[in-house]
Amino acid sequence: MPTRRTILAAAAASAAAPALAACGEQAGAARMTRQARRPPGGRVNLVFWTWVPLQKAVALWNRTHPDIHVTVQTVPANTSGGYQKMHAALKAGDPPDLAQIEYYALPEFMLVRGLTDLTAYGADRLKKHYVDWQWQQGVFAGRTYAMPQGSGPMGFFYRADLYDKWDLEVPRTWDEFRQAARTMRKRSGGSCITAFPPVNAQWFAAFPWQRGAHWVRTEGDTWVVDLASEESRQVADFWDGMIRDKLVATVQDSQSSFFKGLQTGQIAGMLGAQWQDALIRGNAPGTKGKWRVAELPQWERGEHASSNWGGSSTAILQGTRHPAEALKFAHWLNTDPASIKLLVEAGYGWPSAKLDLKDSPLGKPDPFFGGQVYNEVFQVSDRNVDTSWRFSPTTTQSYAHIQDNIGRVVAGHGTIQDALRDAQTKFVDDLKAKGLDARSA
């Protein structure tokens, strides 16, 4: 596995490989990956940590691949404990063979040498099966360290019945979005066009991303943090105005009050990722047939700029004794048509595999969305994600500063511009605390 210094050197020449070296070494995995010899006729047992309900797909694998058995173990989702558990297992020398790791967290695991170099086991021969920008999320210094699993291209879920009732056009630009929100409040007696989650930095980041901002980049050995660019300021001003004028419901997404708002029409839509279709379907069943999906509003009419919220890889952690078998399973899980069908039904997100939409379960008219083939919208969105957006190895803790600050703004203290400027300083400090060179833009 390349050293962090080697990865840094490659980063200087490749925008796809973040600078992950430093003057000091970080604590890493207690043992290195090694391919164990399998006795003739013997069975390999793999353990897979995930928070997504993948059991049906894994059960299908186990039925059709009796020589490689996979056991799914559920861990807490992302920042609520799952990653801490993975890091602890790496340090203890007892990691699972595979783990679900979101794209934004991959640099964090690379920093501590927590991922297996899959290029050494033939992973690069599989690249042609995947959406390129998702594949690149697991590539560092030209070598592959994670298999893409799924992403979250953004769109606008909205209640078509309410738009008809209040004689509203679906907004195509952000200016139209603001005006539609004002009109909706008047004609509905108080309904909001969308929710603004007070503490969800990943959700908020999707909008500067769409605008063309780049919160982090590398210059040689140095990480450059820029949360206060002109693009980010435009987005901050927009949402400051929406919050100030009470045009959005400041409730946390995926909580009971949010779903109640969707059911009652107090919240008439949501700017969200493709995987939220399953959450709406499961938590607002009384609204079946009333939903539609449109592209994100645009800053310039006629554009199709998009971004992403979420997205995960199937990573093979450092220390496994069966990397070749784990890679075989990870590739099957994310590209086999029968597996993808089961994963889509489980609501795991937009697939990482290249697929013909009309021949997949995602390409069918959906009664919940009034017969719309709504994933056609997300296919356009996925094709227009700005793939130059980067994540730092401190995204988990640095995004926490952003959402804490924005939470205070929603509570009436300061502006989102102020929140981003303050978070930028803390973001730089986080990187320096890892022994990395960093500065503000």
- At 414, the pLDDT band (50, 70, 90 cuts) reads very high
Residue 9: pLDDT above 60? no
Indicate whether this model's pTM tops 0.85: yes
pLDDT of residue 80: 58
pLDDT of residue 378: 96
* Residues 380-397, mean pLDDT to the nearest whole number: 93
* Residues 300-327, mean pLDDT to the nearest whole number: 96
Digit-coded pLDDT (tens) for 264-277: 999 999 999 999 99
Residue 193 tokens read as 């066009």
pLDDT of residue 1: 43
Within 10 A of 34 (CB to CB), how many other CB atoms are there? 11
pLDDT of residue 254: 82
User: Helix 201-211 crosses helix 395-410 at what angle (to 10 degrees)?
Assistant: 90
Residues of the chain with pLDDT > 90, as a percent, come to 84
DSSP per residue over 149-184, as a string?
A: EEEEEEEEEEEHHHHHHTT-PPP-BHHHHHHHHHHH
pLDDT of residue 267: 98
Residue 235 tokens read as 């987005």
Q: Where are the domains of the chain?
A: 4-151+309-378
Q: What is the architecture of the domain spanning 4-151+309-378? A: 3-Layer(aba) Sandwich (3.40)
pLDDT of residue 8: 38
Digit-coded pLDDT (tens) for 46-86: 999 999 889 999 999 999 999 999 999 999 886 657 999 99
Digit-coded pLDDT (tens) for 336-373: 999 999 988 877 789 999 988 988 889 999 999 999 99
Burial of residue 427, with CB atoms counted within 10 A of its CB: 0-12 exposed, 13-18 middle, 19 or more buried: buried
- At 419, the pLDDT band (50, 70, 90 cuts) reads very high
* Residues 386-407, mean pLDDT to the nearest whole number: 93
Residue 7: pLDDT above 50? no
Residue 16: pLDDT above 70? no
Residues of the chain with pLDDT > 70, as a percent, come to 93
- At 19, the pLDDT band (50, 70, 90 cuts) reads low
Digit-coded pLDDT (tens) for 212-268: 999 999 999 999 999 999 999 999 999 999 999 999 999 999 899 999 999 999 999
- Using the structure block, give the residue that is written with the tokens 């703004």: 409
Task: Kindly calculate the radius of gyration of the chain based on its CA atoms and give it in whole angstroms.
Answer: 22
What is the average pLDDT value for the chain, to the nearest integer?
92
Digit-coded pLDDT (tens) for 114-144: 999 999 999 999 999 999 999 999 999 999 9
Q: Which amino acid is at 402?
A: I
User: Helix 230-244 crosses helix 174-188 at what angle (to 10 degrees)?
Assistant: 10
Digit-coded pLDDT (tens) for 151-192: 999 999 999 999 999 999 999 999 999 999 999 999 999 999
pLDDT of residue 361: 85
